[in-house]
Amino acid sequence: MIDLPRALDGRTALALCSALLAASTASAQPKPLEVMHQWTSPGESASVKVLADAFNAAGGRWKDSAVAGTALAHRAVVARLTSGNAPGAAQVNFGRRIEELAEEGLLGDISDVAAQGQWARVVSPAVLKSVTHQGKVVAVPVTVAGTNWLWFSPQVLKAAGVAAPRTIDEMFVAAERVKSAGLTPFALGAQPWQLNFVFSNLLLGTAGRGALEQLGRADTAALNSPGALKAMDLFLRVRGLVDAGATNRSWNDSANLVITGKAAFQFMGDWAKAEYSAGGRKPGVDFGCMLTPGAQDVYVIMGDAFAMPARVPKDDQASQKRLAAVVMDPQVQRRFALAKGSLPVRSDISAEGFDACAQQALKVMANPAQVLASANMTLSGDVNGAITDTLGRIWAAPGIKAADAVALLTRAINAAK
């Protein structure tokens, strides 16, 4: 008990006690944990709040550090980790990016949290492998995303007098009809990574799963088929089926074109569903969703994890483990997946309450043989970057022929191996 000097009057004593109590409370609060991520669209921000609120409720202090854009965000993460000024946690895609950071000794070890939480029992082997390096769990998986989604506007298709397509060919017939009706067939932001999404989906729909698997191994035989040549030809046709504002537009602004009935189709991962579902809009009524036409029995996955940087203070290490446990909590997994429009990484989450789009994915994912790792998980950064950059150059090359574009892409992949 503090013995206050008798000379202090009541008001002075009360002020001193208040100051001491405030100082004691401040010292008891945990240090903020900076969490870098790239979830910056309105729908994504709402899902991030689920994680932040859960972490804070568990006794942590979430310090938000958002960087827009996949490529820019990853460069920012690498810069922070290699400069000795690492954040407490950093969003990184599953697979090779985590592996590359771990190989440089930049990631810590949360294997004890994984063991205590029995992650091996509730997380698919492919996902757990993607966050493990040399037997150590170095990142916590947050969410599984599907990359082969086609979003569409039922209203635009109705105005053009066409039905939802079942094949890639039907999609392009519908696109031409939409264009004739004075509307935009494809909502697209012509950024290289978005163009990669378009080409990959066209390749899957025309050349099949085998071609996409080969490309995911940097095997250029994937491009030596009539289906691959057709995919490139259709990719080039898309240039004439977008609006004048496509150059460098963000994916969520492109989604808004479909939402507002100005465009028919958008190829984008399932994170786009948060944009489509905002404001109470419902799948099957206000917007449509399907897996790649012609390949609706395949689910191409990627995902996000929070990598746990090494060489951080001990109090940050404790907070990292707290964050990992919170993120993998079943209720947090469920709330985050529902808010974001993706799927939980845990297999023990009930499908009840997930919408019609998620139900499509869950049905396909029930058969592991129908799940395919995306190139983001399997290719090195150099090869994946070469594919993305080359598709950007092809898109920007007026008059290029499909065969020449395929040859250019083949050379770029071989040079980057």
Residue type, 140: V
DSSP string, 235-285: HHHHGGGS-TT-TT--HHHHHHHHHTTSEEEEE--GGGHHHHHGGG--BTT
Residue 326: the pLDDT is 98
Structure tokens at 375: 């190139």
In this structure, are residues 362 and 354 in contact, taking their beta carbons and an 8 Å threshold? yes
Domains along the chain?
32-146+302-362 (3.40.190.10), 149-300+372-416 (3.40.190.10)
Structure token digits, residue 58: 């568990």
Q: What is the pTM of this model?
A: 0.76
The tens-digit pLDDT sequence of the chain (417 residues) is: 334 344 445 444 434 344 433 434 344 578 999 999 999 988 789 999 999 999 999 999 999 999 998 889 989 999 999 998 999 999 999 888 899 999 999 999 999 999 999 999 988 877 898 899 999 999 999 999 899 999 999 999 999 999 999 999 999 999 999 999 999 999 999 999 999 999 999 999 999 999 999 999 999 999 999 999 999 999 999 999 999 999 999 999 999 999 999 999 999 998 898 899 888 999 989 999 999 999 999 999 999 999 999 989 999 999 999 999 999 999 999 999 988 878 998 888 888 889 999 989 988 887 777 888 898 888 988 999 999 999 999 999 999 999 999 999 999 999 999
Strands (E), 67-197: 89-93, 132-133, 136-137, 139-146, 149-152, 184-186
Whether residue 378 contacts residue 405, with contact meaning beta carbons closer than 8 Å, is answered with no
Task: With beta carbons less than 8 A apart as the criterion, state whether 290 and 296 touch.
Answer: yes
CA–CA separation, 386 and 258 (whole Å): 30
CA nearest to 139, candidates 31, 30, 37, 273: 37
Task: Please tell me the predicted confidence (pLDDT) of residue 28.
Answer: 59
